[in-house]
């Protein structure tokens, strides 16, 4: 079976790290900055970064409508940190002009765990991923306050806050697996794209 082509939205954030992790997980990884590049992928990663900046750049690069259409058509998408915010139907503590793709029926709170100085690392068990907990890196991370119907909670931190979810072909985490060298979550997404 040929390796799936998975794009990383390359407007801002951890683009290079996700490209490296996806390649290591068995995908053909490519940056996506234009609608024609989006048309050529089997899956998409929305990286961590700054969600309000990503929201603005998606409009500047004329990617909002093409990404919305691909998500509606079933494109597998994984969002980490800011990518989780971009996939949420509701964002708390965001800017009024901030717009995401509204793919996952969830309410997310921006910077919920605190500012940059409050960044931390913690073990997180993820449903469907074997081999013990993932070493999760949280940097100005969101958390999920509420999930809607059809959203599967995949992981929580020790205080019970939701930090990983899936709805259909859409996957999101509050943390940054691309920063740890553990490829299990990226392999999980590559397998989702293959399926």
Out of 17, 125, 135, 176, pick the active-site residue.
176
Question: Are the beta carbons of 48 and 82 closer than 8 angstroms?
Answer: yes
Q: Which residues contact 67 (CB under 8 A, 6 or more apart)?
A: 9, 38, 44, 58, 101
Phi first, then psi, for residue 144 (nearest 5°) are -95, 120
Phi first, then psi, for residue 86 (nearest 5°) are -65, -25
Q: Which residues contact 86 (CB under 8 A, 6 or more apart)?
A: 46, 51, 54, 55, 58, 79, 100, 101
Q: Is 188 a catalytic residue?
A: no
Q: Which residues contact 89 (CB under 8 A, 6 or more apart)?
A: 102, 103, 104, 105, 106, 107, 148
Q: Is 178 a catalytic residue?
A: yes
Question: Are the beta carbons of 186 and 171 closer than 8 angstroms?
Answer: no
Out of 18, 81, 186, 188, pick the active-site residue.
81
Out of 18, 178, 186, 188, pick the active-site residue.
178
Q: Is 176 a catalytic residue?
A: yes
Could you give the residue numbers annotated as active site? 81, 176, 178
């Amino acid at each position: 079976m040929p390796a799936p082509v998975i794009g990383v939205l390359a407007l801002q954030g951890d683009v290079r790290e996700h490209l490296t992790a996806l390649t290591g997980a068995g995908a053909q990884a490519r940056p996506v900055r234009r609608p024609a590049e989006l048309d050529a992928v089997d899956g998409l990663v929305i990286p961590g970064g700054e969600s309000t900046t990503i929201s603005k750049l998606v409009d500047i690069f004329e990617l909002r409508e093409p990404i919305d259409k691909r998500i509606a058509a079933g494109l597998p998408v994984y969002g980490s940190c800011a990518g989780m915010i971009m996939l949420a139907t509701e964002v708390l503590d965001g800017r009024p002009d901030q717009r995401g793709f509204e793919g996952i029926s969830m309410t997310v709170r921006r910077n919920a765990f605190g500012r940059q100085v409050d960044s931390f690392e913690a073990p997180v068990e993820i449903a469907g991923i074997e081999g013990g907990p993932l070493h999760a890196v949280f940097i100005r991370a969101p958390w999920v306050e509420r999930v809607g119907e059809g959203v599967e909670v995949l992981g929580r931190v020790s205080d019970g806050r939701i930090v990983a979810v899936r709805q259909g072909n859409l996957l999101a985490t509050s943390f940054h697996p691309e920063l740890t060298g553990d490829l299990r979550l990226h392999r999980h997404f590559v397998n989702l794209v293959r399926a």
